[in-house]
Structure 1
Amino acid sequence: MKYLKHLLVLTIFTYSLGSIYACNINAREMEPKQIVPKTPIEKPSKQYVKIALLLDTSNSMDGLINQAKAQLWDIVNEFTHAKCGNESRPLLQIALYEYGNDNLSSREGYIRQVIGFSNDLDEISEKLFSLTTNGGEEYCGQVIHTSLKQLDWGKNADDLKMIFIAGNEPFTQGKMNYRDAASDAKEKDIIVNTIFCGNYNQGVSTMWKNGATLTGGEYMAIDHNRQVVHIKTPYDDVIIKLNSKLNNTYISYGALGRQKKMQQSAQDSNAAEMEAGVAVKRSVSKSSRLYKNSKWDLVDAVEDDEEILEEIVEEDLPAELKGKSENEIKEYVMAKKAEREEIQGQIRELNAKREAYIAENQKQEKGELENALITAIKNQASKKNYIWD
């Protein structure tokens, strides 16, 4: 009898437990299923044009370096007018490598990163002017591979990422096969454009054309020793004078301030020593949105973030602002900003007249290197919905 009671109790307990479990399952089934929305993939708010210039600095390449020095500002000015598919303006970053120079380390393949990706136009100019030539071994595959490995190319598929390699020796030299380097570039959505300094057919036979074709890039042959002809216009002298006034609107601050202000002036001088036309084009670049100096100029820094005035310590201020209140400093900065915008506007207006004057004279002003770069850039940019206005 006692056994039957235990069996009855066990049966009731098991049945109750099963009923509770079943109820919980039914309750869960009756609850509406919650659909968890997928987190939208946010596209980066900024789009970049990233250009790596790989320049042969062996003995025969002085003309190429001079063209690069002269025409940096043409390339910058061209991108001032670029728009992305979303109507925003892309930011420009340039990196610079030299290769094929006996002064460089043989262990590194006679390759040196002169500057990584940067939007500091004064520093890029300074680095270009620091290049010197000397005979050496020219390893195209290896310098492409090195730039792919060392530079921060980013992962935004909408960015325009390009390598321009210029030289005059066979593309096949060195232990690193150029085909492997091109394959790596293509995998990272980086286009390799090749610029052979010499005869077009010679560049084809020495694999410069093939080096570009493998990534969908463009092959170009240029006369690197050709002198760039800058057309003098009635507006040049005025633009150069306005550039001097423009420099006076920069308020250097912090440890970098004095050094960068001197660098700005030095690059004005470098441009002017090449030719007045180069100085004019640099002045035009300095009137554009791409010439930003927030790291050392208080006007640009405040435009990016007004709170810097609350954070900056007096010892980082220039002499004219020491002992001033925050409001007084802000008024001074705003006055310089207004002055700068007026001068930049005048430069842009005069440059429009200058360009019209050049067009009316029906003369070709562009240099060989600039033609090659701009043509390739525009062709490849159009495939990513970039437009020019």
Structure 2
Amino acid sequence: MRIFYIWSMFMLLIHISCNASTKQNNEVALTEKPHKILTTKTDPNTSNIQVALLLDTSNSMDGLIEQAKAQLWEIVNELSYAKCGHNKIRLQISLYEYGNDGLPSKEGYIRQVLPFSDDLDEISKELFGLTTNGGNEYCGKVIATSINQLDWKKSNDDLKLIFIAGNEPFTQGPTNYKDAATDALEKGITINTIFCGNFRQGIDTMWKHGADLTYGEYSAIDHNHQTVHIATPYDDIILQLNNQLNDTYIYYGSRGAQKRSMQMEQDQNAKSYSPANAVSRTISKSSGFYKNKSWDLIDAAEDEEFEIDKIAEEQLPIELQDKSTAELKKHIAKKSAKRKEIQQKIQELNKKRVEYIKTNSKKNDTSLETALLNAIKSQGKKKSFSWED
């Protein structure tokens, strides 16, 4: 019996030791993983603007989607003027659609179209791919989903905004919008609501309350109002410069040619609304927000860590495959200088273009663009962001 008792105590000590070791290892794993995420994603010299667009794509929302397509580039352009001390500004946009009967019912008729991305061509492509159908609009559900799924920045100094647009009561669906708003507030995310219809009706159906809970802004817009693009005397020159700008891109990598084609497709999508909208996209392409390091050698070469000699020959355009590393670097430097020169010309012309539009346009306070920009600027000022006049 004594031997059995000693043996039992020995096994118990081993069990306790193993559990302690396992617990310690688990605690290390739990603490190390978040630490790694924070160190790789936090840049003290960057101020982030994160915008999640939650768009109702039920049958009645064709006008809303058309406004979003038509006004995307003017929104990006206005955001590109943001400043926050001496920090670099990084814009990320996410896109969700909800209220469409073509979406899975088990997901609450919600689809993440795009996670947070700074790839403006990708954002444009997905936006132009949206279609409308049917409708079960669950506002609380889509807000909660975007909060939980997206990679929101941890710092309270970053500008983290949700914009939800639709026209059905805010109270519909299995998730209480108040709970979603509470979660957003705890994470430093501001909810802004855009009701597509009568201002008073939006208040009565709790759209304003949904914004008030996180100190966001409520707007009512005429979503069926057609976007008016004002032509200016500078448009033709800017579009000619866009053709020259496109000639400075050098694709690389397994998806380089595909991404280069997407760039051209989004030029055409913008032009499908009007030449003036194509001009707005060209302005965006001359801004610091339009970067394509994943497929363009000019943008990629801006990183000190980028090594051109690590790119396989077959992943370069045919005309560059027989060039030496030194020749490639020289070619990239030449194209880079040309791009900066073209972008500078576009920016100078845009200053004149903006003044012309201010003089010749009637202020429209009922568009998606106006609702978005007013809220972003108002809330950005609270986080030390500012905009040039």
Q: How far apart in 2 are the matches of 1:356 and 1:131?
A: 33
Structure 1: unaligned runs, 5 residues or longer: 1-40
Deviation track 1:54-82 (CA, whole Å, cap 9, x = no partner) reads: 00000000110011011111121112111
The DSSP-based 3-state class of the residue aligned with 2:201 is helix
Give the Å deviation of 1:43.
6.8
Give the corresponding residue for 2:202.
Answer: 203
Partners in 2 of 1:99 and 1:136 — Cα distance? 8
1:54·1:96 contact (CA, 8 Å) conserved in 2? yes
Corresponding position of 2:381: 382
1:48-107 deviation digits (Å, cap 9, x = unpaired): 1000000000000011001101111112111211111x3213100000000000100000
Amino acid at match of 1:104: L
TM-score (norm 2): 0.87
Within-5 A mapping of 1:94-109: 94-109=93-108
Structure 2 contact 231–276 (Cα < 8 Å) conserved: yes
Larger radius of gyration: 1
CA distance in 2 between partners of 1:111 and 1:95 (Å): 14
More displaced, 338-347 or 299-308?
A: 299-308
2:215 corresponds to: 216
* Structure 2, unaligned runs of 5 or more: 1-38
Partner residue in 2 for 1:82: 82
- Check conservation: 1:71, 1:367, Cα contact below 8 A: no
Question: Is 1:70 matched up with 2:78?
Answer: no
Could you tell me how far apart the structure 1 residues matched to 2:340 and 2:347 are?
A: 10
Question: Per the alignment, in what secondary structure is the counterpart of residue 384 of structure 2?
Answer: coil
Hey, what does 1:11 align to over in structure 2? Answer: none
In the other structure, the counterpart of 2:276 is 277
CA contact (8 A) 1:67 1:367 kept: no
Alpha-carbon shift at residue 361 of structure 1 (Å) = 2.3
Please give the alpha-carbon distance, in whole angstroms, between the structure 1 residues aligned to 2:342 and 2:192: 37
| Counterparts of 1:168 and 1:307, CA distance in 2 | 48
Q: How far is 1:217 from its partner?
A: 0.3
1:59 and 1:202 mapped to 2: Cα distance? 19
Q: In structure 2, what is the equivalent of residue 49 of structure 1?
A: 49
1:362: how far off?
A: 4.7
CA contact (8 A) 1:196 1:220 kept: yes
The residue that corresponds to 1:268 in the other structure is 267
Question: CA shift at 1:367, angstroms?
Answer: 6.5
Could you tell me how far apart the structure 1 residues matched to 2:75 and 2:103 are?
28
Deviations 1:207-239 (A, max 9, x none): 000000000000000000001111111111111
Report the secondary structure of 2:259's partner residue: helix
Greater shift in the superposed pair: 336-345 or 291-300? 336-345
In the other structure, the counterpart of 2:141 is: 142
2:335 matched to which residue of 1? 336
Query: CA shift at 1:131, angstroms?
Result: 0.1
Shift of 1:370: 0.5
SS at structure 1 position matched to 2:195: strand
Give the length in aligned residue pairs: 348
The 1-side partners of 2:337 and 2:248 are apart by: 9
The CA deviation string for residues 269-295 of structure 1, in whole angstroms up to 9 with x for no partner, is 000011111101000000001000000
After TM superposition, give the deviation of residue 114 of structure 1 in Å: 0.2
CA distance in structure 2 between the aligned counterparts of 1:248 and 1:288, rounded to whole angstroms: 17
Aligned equivalents of 1:319 and 1:297: distance in 2?
A: 15
Whole-Å separation in 2 of the counterparts to 1:365 and 1:138: 27
The one-letter code matched in structure 2 to 1:46 is T
Other structure's SS at 1:289 match: coil
Note if contact 2:45-2:88 (Cα within 8 Å) is conserved in structure 1. no
CA contact (8 A) 1:229 1:367 kept: no
Give the structure 2 partner of residue 173 of structure 1. Answer: 172
**Is contact 1:230–1:365 with CA below 8 Å preserved after alignment?**
no
Q: CA deviation at 1:365?
A: 6.6
Cα pair 1:301 1:308 within 8 Å, conserved: no
Confirm or deny: 8 A CA contact 1:56 1:167 kept in the other structure: yes
Contact 2:194–2:220 (8 Å) recurs in 1: yes
Separation (CA, whole Å) in 2 of partners of 1:119 and 1:143: 22
Distance 1:90 1:156 in 2: 14
**Other-structure match for 1:20:** none
Q: Name the amino acid aligned to 1:293.
A: N
* In structure 1, C-alpha distance between the alignment counterparts of 2:290 and 2:331, rounded to whole Å: 21
2:350 equivalent in structure 1: 351
CA RMSD of aligned residues (A): 1.4
**For residue 295 of structure 2, what is the aligned residue in structure 1?**
296
Q: Tell me the residue number matched to 2:368.
A: 369
* Residue equivalent to 1:245: 244
Q: 5 Å matches for 1:231-242? A: 231-242=230-241
TM-score, normalised to structure 1's length? 0.87
Residue aligning to 1:309: 308
**Partners of 1:305 and 1:367 in 2: how far apart?**
45
2:92 maps to what in 1? 93
* 1:120 and 2:119 correspond: yes
- Once residues 169 and 237 of structure 1 are traced to their aligned partners in structure 2, the CA distance between those partners, rounded to angstroms, is 42
Q: Distance in 2 between matches of 1:223 and 1:378?
A: 21
Q: 1:236 to 1:79 in 2, by over 3 A?
A: same
**Distance across 1 between alignment mates of 2:385 and 2:193:** 22
In 2, the alpha carbon distance for the partners of 1:365 and 1:229 equals 10
Deviation at residue 108 of structure 1 after TM alignment: 0.2
State, as a whole percentage, how many aligned pairs show the same letter: 61
**AA in 1 matched with 2:236:** D
Q: What is the CA-CA distance between 1:307 and the residue it aligns to?
A: 3.6
Between the aligned partners of 1:270 and 1:178, the Cα distance in structure 2 is: 35
Change (3 A) 1:93 1:267: same
